[in-house]
Structure 1
Amino acid sequence: MQVDLFDYHLPESLIAQTPLADRTASRLLTLNKQTGEIGHHMFEELENYLQAGDVLVLNDTRVIPARLFGVKADTGAKVEILLLKQLEGDRWEALVRPGKKVKTGATIHFGGQPESAEATGTKPLLTATVEAEGEMGSRTLHFQYEGIFNELLDRLGSMPLPPYIKEQLPEKERYQTVYAKHEGSAAAPTAGLHFTKQYLHRLEQKGVQLAYVTLHVGLGTFRPVSAEKIEEHEMHEEYYEVSQETADLVNEAKRKGGRVIAVGTTSSRTLETAATEEGILQAGRGWTGIFIYPGYRFRIVDALLTNFHLPKSTLLMLISALAGREQILKAYHEAVEREYRFFSFGDAMFIY
């Protein structure tokens, strides 16, 4: 299947640059995957599409301030890195810019020094050595420091907003879900940004059950589909966890005829990774490189709350697998015509 089949025209003016003051104030496009019926609502009307016995599955990953700015120890040249995945201990996979100038063996210093540490005699707060080079500018970095790494990251790092967002984020917590818990993501599971604690409580009062999975968003979110055919694209692996509590809750709901509604493509990929062929969700943890595109048979996910995705992206392919490519592109065309806000800080879509 050709990647170009998942392209659509999006005016740049529709890319949301800042989050709304009220998380629940977004618009909501609904798509019935059986009939193709499209509806236009406000996000708070989502509860009208949910019912007692449904399970809402949310990704409770927490974004780390993964963007760091440093200098090369030998030249003082400025370097930007984006932490993607903790490998083990103090070794991380990261994207590095400019990648051509940061080779294996290079040392990078972080801590605000204007020049190289050798030139100034100052001791950096954080030092990284490049151990290996990967594809698309990725590097394996080994960090050296004194103290606690996460505290240094909070002090030195900034939120890794996607490249299409040009505005500064007024507060870091606005790029976190209200239920974010386990640190490790290089990007937010943005479908969850629409919820407040009060709104989730309202859904629970209605009889909707909340369940949590963890998937730390990594390189797959930033990596474009470079192949001409989607079957040739290889997904980057990301770490996930499914608790026994969540597995039991989901399986019981399925047994009783309730729906499993994934909040975001990351929750969807986690659920489908941990599912058996018979549609049983299994507790566990590990790495997933699952790539969902049209032709895939969903084993767990019945409905999906998501944001609007980039043209020709793996995320657009995933939702097309759930609702059909032509229906998705028709809905997107309508969203563009009605000037919905797109991407991370944009409006929401409910596929049911």
Structure 2
Amino acid sequence: MPGGGSVRLREEYSRGRLWTATVDIGGSVVGYLRAYGQPIRYGYVPRPWPLSHYQTVFATEPGSAEMPSAARPFSDRVVTRLVAAGVQFAPVLLHTGVASPEAHERPYPERFVVPETTARLVTQARSGGGRVIAVGTTAVRALETAATAAGVVTATSGWTELVVTPDRGVRAVDGLLTGFHEPRASHLDLLETVAGRPLLDRMYTEALESRYLWHEFGDVNLILP
């Protein structure tokens, strides 16, 4: 590895794609990646972009393997205008794993934090008749992990293995902003849970016919039931 680091692959984590490994780099993984790492880049992106282009306006703590891309269109100006219009923001943290191309694998455990303030704001919004709109599937997974069966969100942190499916339903989220996902990605189960299958099919038909781009620098759409 660059800079004298080494990695020993130990066993396959997912078939043909991800491995568990022992890392020896003489320091922190975050520091090493900051010096030598490169963001995952999709085929339609014509050239490398600096790491800063993959960090959203909400980012405060490094740890994701890929950018939570639904927040990519947000800027300081957009957030200010939304706040001025009465929209409240409540932060969550979920360190996204390697999501694409996902060959219909179940998403693996990801580290998350739902702070006390966020739990209180979400619960108040729902009890007061407001809507909770998650920015990305990552935010849905974090909030739904912290929600009770009655939809009450409590401050929670740790590792989540939750998979949101239509059979389970959603308890804390009323809609979400998200990009488009691969045909076999488990994200589609989550989107179907929120939107229903007929609307989801219409969305993807429109996206394909209009040649929308996928992934980090593609388009984001608002899904409401």
TM-score, length-scaled by structure 2: 0.90
In structure 2, do the counterparts of structure 1 residues 175 and 280 end up closer, same or farther at CA, with 3 Å as the change threshold? same
Q: Which residue of 2 aligns with 1:299?
A: 171
Q: Which residue of 1 aligns with 2:47?
A: 168
- State whether structure 2 residue 214 is matched by structure 1 residue 334: no
**2:212–2:219 Cα contact (<8 Å) kept:** yes
Distance in 1 between the 2:135 and 2:218 partners? 15
Distance in 2 between the 1:135 and 1:348 partners? 28
Unaligned runs of 5+ in 1: 1-109, 112-123, 226-232
Q: Which residue of 1 aligns with 2:155?
A: 283
Give the superposition deviation at 1:223.
3.3
In structure 2, do the counterparts of structure 1 residues 222 and 201 end up closer, same or farther at CA, with 3 Å as the change threshold? same
State the Cα RMSD in Å.
2.0
SS in 2 for 1:336: helix
Give the superposition deviation at 1:224.
1.4
Q: Which residue of 2 aligns with 1:325?
A: 197
Q: Which residue of 1 aligns with 2:93?
A: 214
Amino acid at match of 1:258: G
**2:8–2:23 Cα contact (<8 Å) kept:** yes
Distance in 1 between the 2:30 and 2:181 partners? 31
**1:261–1:301 Cα contact (<8 Å) kept:** yes
Residue deviations 1:129-178 (CA, integer Å, cap 9, x gap): 3344433243332222334443322221111234x445323322111111
Q: Which residue of 1 aligns with 2:57?
A: 178
2:18 to 138, 145, 169: 138
**1:125–1:152 Cα contact (<8 Å) kept:** no
In structure 2, do the counterparts of structure 1 residues 251 and 221 end up closer, same or farther at CA, with 3 Å as the change threshold? farther
**1:213–1:270 Cα contact (<8 Å) kept:** yes
- State whether structure 2 residue 127 is matched by structure 1 residue 248: no
Q: Between Structure 1 and Structure 2, whose CA radius of gyration is higher?
A: 1
SS in 2 for 1:169: coil
Unaligned runs of 5+ in 2: none
Distance in 1 between the 2:100 and 2:90 partners? 23
Residue deviations 1:85-122 (CA, integer Å, cap 9, x gap): xxxxxxxxxxxxxxxxxxxxxxxxx12xxxxxxxxxxx
Task: State the aligned residue count.
Answer: 223
Distance in 1 between the 2:113 and 2:99 partners? 17
SS in 2 for 1:320: helix
Distance in 2 between the 1:219 and 1:172 partners? 16
2:111 to 239, 244, 258: 239
Q: Which residue of 2 aligns with 1:191?
A: 70
SS in 1 for 2:165: coil
Could you tell me the percent identity over the aligned residues?
A: 35
Relative contact order (alpha carbons < 8 A, sep ≥ 6): 1 or 2 greater?
Answer: 1
- State whether structure 2 residue 27 is matched by structure 1 residue 151: no
Q: Which residue of 1 aligns with 2:7?
A: 128
Q: Which residue of 1 aligns with 2:143?
A: 271
Give the superposition deviation at 1:301.
0.4
Higher strand share: 1
Amino acid at match of 1:160: I
Distance in 2 between the 1:285 and 1:149 partners? 22
**1:213–1:240 Cα contact (<8 Å) kept:** yes
TM-score, length-scaled by structure 1: 0.59
**2:133–2:177 Cα contact (<8 Å) kept:** yes
